[in-house]
Amino acid sequence: MSGNTFGRRFRVTTFGESHGPALGAIVDGCPPGLALTEADLQGDLDRRRPGRNRLMSARDEADRVEILSGVSEGKTTGTPIALLIRNTDQRPKAYDEMATLFRPSHADYTYFAKYGHRARSGGGRASARETAARVAAGAIARKLLAERFGCEIVAWVDRVGDLTATVDVETVTPDAVAAHAVQCPDDAAAAAMTALIEEVRKAGDTIGGVVAAVARNVPVGLGDPVFDKLEASLGQALLSLPACKGVEIGSGFAGTTMRGSAHNDAFYVDEAGRVRTRTNHSGGVQGGISNGMPIVVRAAFKPVATHFQAQETVDETGAAVTFQARGRHDPCVLPRAVVIVEAMIALVLADAWLAQRGQVGTPP
């Protein structure tokens, strides 16, 4: 199976299944000399792990990461960094009743049709459990970006169902996001979102929405024309996430309703002598290259495919079946997706920064 590696210079290969013994990642291309310990990664993993409140899966995983290689005396050596996260609360037997079924809107049928064999417990590689490895790798990229040029990436739940938050992308902070279990920094919206997810959970259903993110202090020059535009790389990264069905950069689809005279971002020179724009409809990317303004991204996530109402499907023999799912699943993926979105953005920016450094030197 191909498709398990992301990035060209800052390369991440993930491995492992939802109900196997462990998951992990190999990070290749991280520059030497970066101070790195497991504690640097654990904070982001703790934000992603399940079982912390009623808005998420009851699966109880500590998600403790182990660094097996690539670090010596507390610093990266420039060689591959091996990361391991052991599964401790896997329950493959919970899927026995559904072992031969094609669960609607899951990867069961497509994996079986493509490979002729599949991991039947929890979706295997298609499970969102795989993203734990991405978060661990992304935490390395996040630290690299912060130390090299002060980059800060903040994501939050921007919409659940038809409930939308009001958030200032210039000032939103990680603490404000973390203040609510639903990971929304808008107090009123967070309360309404929490109530809606609880209502959906009690009905045995699921709900989707949007995670928004901003990357601040990104240097000018990241990204390459024509096929390696920065927004194209961000789109690939985020659309590779389970349940992600759409990505917007800057004004996104809303920009299609505007006139060019209103949508254009006028340039000016700020007090520090830097070229900036008075608006940011471009979302920090023009011509596929970062322009120094905050990079603003929105990722749409569909409702979690596993709900607990009766569903019709077929099994591997083609026989019609009515079933009701069991197990431990999120009623809404969004609160846990926040840090995953941040991780993928960090991986894209780290890869783009290394490409820029190799091509033209340190970005201005």
CA atoms of 135 and 153, how far apart (whole Å): 13
Could you tell me where the DSSP H helices lie in the chain?
38-48, 108-115, 131-149, 174-178, 187-202, 230-239, 260-263, 334-360
What lies within 8 Å, CB to CB, of 78 at 6+ separation is 30, 31, 32
Domain that includes residue 305, residue range: 5-360
Q: How far is CA 222 from the centre of its chain?
A: 20
What lies within 8 Å, CB to CB, of 257 at 6+ separation is none
Q: Domain containing 79 — which CATH number?
A: 3.60.150.10
Contact present, 234 and 215 (Cβ < 8 Å): no
N-to-C CA span, the chain: 40
The predicted structure's pLDDT at residue 1: 57
CA atoms of 209 and 206, how far apart (whole Å): 11
- Tokens 């917007």 — which residue? 248
Whole-number Cα distances in Å, 252 to 65, 206, 212, 231: 36, 26, 12, 11
The predicted structure's pLDDT at residue 20: 86
- Number of C-beta neighbours around residue 320 at 10 A: 8
The predicted structure's pLDDT at residue 117: 84
| Number of domains forming the structure of the chain | 1
Q: Helix, strand or coil for residue 288?
A: coil
CA atoms of 320 and 169, how far apart (whole Å): 49
Burial of 139 (0-12, 13-18, 19+ CB in 10 A): buried
The predicted structure's pLDDT at residue 328: 72
Phi, psi of 164 (to 5 degrees): -120, 140
Residue closest to 41 by CA, chosen among 80, 84, 98, 93: 84
Cis preceding-peptide flag for 226 (omega within 30 of 0) = yes
The predicted structure's pLDDT at residue 107: 87
Q: What angle do CA 22, 24, 28 make, to 5 degrees?
A: 160
Q: Cα-Cα-Cα-Cα dihedral of 53, 56, 62, 65, to 10°?
A: -130
Checking DSSP bridges between strand 22-28 and strand 81-86, what pairing results, if any? antiparallel
Q: Helix, strand or coil for residue 170?
A: coil
The predicted structure's pLDDT at residue 240: 97
The predicted structure's pLDDT at residue 234: 98
pTM of the predicted model as reported, rounded to 2 decimal places:
0.95
Residue closest to 41 by CA, chosen among 76, 1, 91, 5: 76
Per-residue pLDDT of the chain (364 residues; tens, 9 = 90+): 589 999 999 999 999 988 889 999 999 999 999 999 999 999 999 999 876 777 877 677 889 999 999 999 999 999 999 999 999 876 656 666 777 899 888 888 998 899 888 776 667 788 888 999 999 999 999 999 999 999 999 999 999 999 999 999 999 999 999 999 999 999 999 999 999 999 999 999 999 999 999 999 999 999 999 999 999 999 999 999 999 999 999 999 999 999 999 999 999 999 999 999 999 999 999 999 999 999 999 999 999 988 889 999 999 999 999 988 777 778 999 999 999 999 999 999 999 999 999 988 765 5
Residue 24 corresponds to which tokens in the numbers above?
């992990």
What lies within 8 Å, CB to CB, of 105 at 6+ separation is 302, 305
Phi, psi of 65 (to 5 degrees): -95, 145
Kindly write down the DSSP assignment for every residue of 7-46, as one continuous string: -SSSEEEEEE-TTSSEEEEEEE-PPTT-B--HHHHHHHHH
